[in-house]
Copies of this chain bind each other. A is one copy, B any other.
Amino acid sequence: MKIGALEAGGTKMVCAAGDEYGRVTAERQFPTETPETTLPQILAFFQEQGIEALGIGCFGPVDLRKDSPSYGSITSTPKRDWQNCRIVPYFQEALTIPVGFDTDVNASMLGELFFGAAKGLTDCLYLTVGTGIGAGILSGGQLVHGLLHPEAGHVLVQKRPEDPYTGHCPYHPSCLEGLASGPALEDRWGKPAAALPPDHPAWIWEADYLGQALTGYIFTLSPQRMILGGGVMNQPQLFPLIRQRVKELLGGYLQAKELENLDTFIVPPACGGRQGILGCLRLGYGARQEG
C-alpha cells in the first residue's frame, strides 16, 4: 500500500511516502514555520505521491480523543502559531483518505516495535531526550493514550543537592525535562550538550536524573525494554552511566532474567534515527485497516 508519513516536529516537518514494510520511496523536509505556509507545502508533496493513507506523529500536546470536537489538533503548545492547529482535519479534508494520528514519541515507539529494538515485545517505553523529554509507551501490545497522552518527561526527580540550576520547565521546579533536556544542559553548563566532553560531571548528573525517571517507569509499567533516543543520547558514555544508576535505584528488588543484564534492557534505538518516520507509516497503515 502507498502510505504517507508526516513526522511533525517543532523545527522541521519530515514527509515521506512508502509502504507498511517500512520501504520509503520519496522523502522531503520543510521547516516548521506557520500552518498557513507549511501545511500547503506538505499537502502538495502528498498529493504528488498518490498516497492511500496518511500517518502523522506530531509534537504536542495533541488531542487524541476521537470523540472530542478538537480531535486531531495540536493544543496548548508554546509555539503560538500552531496552537489549536487542526492538522488531522486539514489533511483528511484535502486528501479524503484515512489519517492515523499520535504523538511523535508514540510514532517512534511504533517504528521501533515494527522495525527496531522493540520487535516482538508487548510492553516497552521509548524515551526521547532532546529539546524536550517525552515517552511513547506500549502496554499489552497497545500504545498508551489514556486521558490525554503520557507526558512522562514531566515526572518529578530529586534534584542533586549540589545542582544549583533552577530548572528549565516553567511548570515544575524539578521535573526530568526541566533538569535533563538539551536546553537544560546548555543553560546549566553554558554550552550545548554536544560540546561537553565525555568525562564532564554533567553526564553523571544527567544519568542520575534519567536513572531516577527510568526506575519510576519500571516500577509503574513493568516494561520488557526501554529505548532511549533523541539528541542528548548521542553520547555513548551515557548508556553505561544510566544503567548503573538504574541498577542502584532498583536495589535488586525486581527479579527477572531480563533485568540481570541492563545492557539489553536499556538500549539505543535500532532504526538509525528513522523510527519516527517509519512509525508514521505504520500509523497510516493502521488507519487504513481501521477505516
A interface list, Cβ under 8 A from B: 61, 75-76, 122-123, 135, 137, 139-140, 142-156, 158, 171-172, 212, 215-217, 219-224, 249, 251-256, 258-259
B255 contacts A147, CB within 8 Å? no
- Of A143, A144, A222, A224, the most chain B CB neighbours within 10 A belong to A222
How many copies of this protein are present in the complex? 2
How far does the alpha carbon of A126 sit from the alpha carbon of B204 in the complex, in Å? Answer: 35
- Of A220, A252, A255, A256, the most chain B CB neighbours within 10 A belong to A220
- Residue of B with least CB distance to A139: B139
B146 contacts A123, CB within 8 Å? yes
How far does the alpha carbon of A259 sit from the alpha carbon of B148 in the complex, in Å? Answer: 11
A221 contacts B150, CB within 8 Å? yes
A258 contacts B147, CB within 8 Å? yes
B220 contacts A220, CB within 8 Å? yes
A135: chain B residues at CB < 8 Å are 220
- Residue of B with least CB distance to A143: B140
How far does the alpha carbon of A150 sit from the alpha carbon of B139 in the complex, in Å? Answer: 11
A154: chain B residues at CB < 8 Å are 219, 253
For this complex, 11 residue pairs linking A to B, each with C-beta atoms less than 8 Å apart, are: A123-B144, A135-B220, A139-B140, A140-B142, A140-B143, A145-B222, A146-B221, A152-B220, A154-B219, A171-B253, A216-B220
Which of B146, B216, B222, B252 sits near A155, CB closer than 8 Å? B216
How far does the alpha carbon of A219 sit from the alpha carbon of B145 in the complex, in Å? Answer: 11
A139-B140, A139-B142, A152-B219 known; 16 new pairs, CB 8 Å cut-off, are: A61-B255, A76-B255, A137-B220, A140-B145, A145-B222, A147-B256, A149-B222, A150-B222, A151-B219, A154-B219, A154-B253, A155-B215, A156-B212, A156-B249, A220-B220, A220-B221
How far does the alpha carbon of A155 sit from the alpha carbon of B253 in the complex, in Å? Answer: 12
A127 to chain B: closest CB distance in Å?
11
A144 contacts B148, CB within 8 Å? no
- Residue of B with least CB distance to A265: B147
How far does the alpha carbon of A247 sit from the alpha carbon of B5 in the complex, in Å? Answer: 38
Which of B61, B140, B148, B253 sits near A151, CB closer than 8 Å? B253
How far does the alpha carbon of A249 sit from the alpha carbon of B178 in the complex, in Å? Answer: 14
A258: chain B residues at CB < 8 Å are 147
A149: chain B residues at CB < 8 Å are 222
A254 contacts B146, CB within 8 Å? no
B252 contacts A171, CB within 8 Å? yes
How far does the alpha carbon of A33 sit from the alpha carbon of B64 in the complex, in Å? Answer: 49
How far does the alpha carbon of A139 sit from the alpha carbon of B222 in the complex, in Å? Answer: 13
B251 contacts A155, CB within 8 Å? no
A171-B252, A251-B172 as given contacts; A222 in contact with B158, CB under 8 Å: no
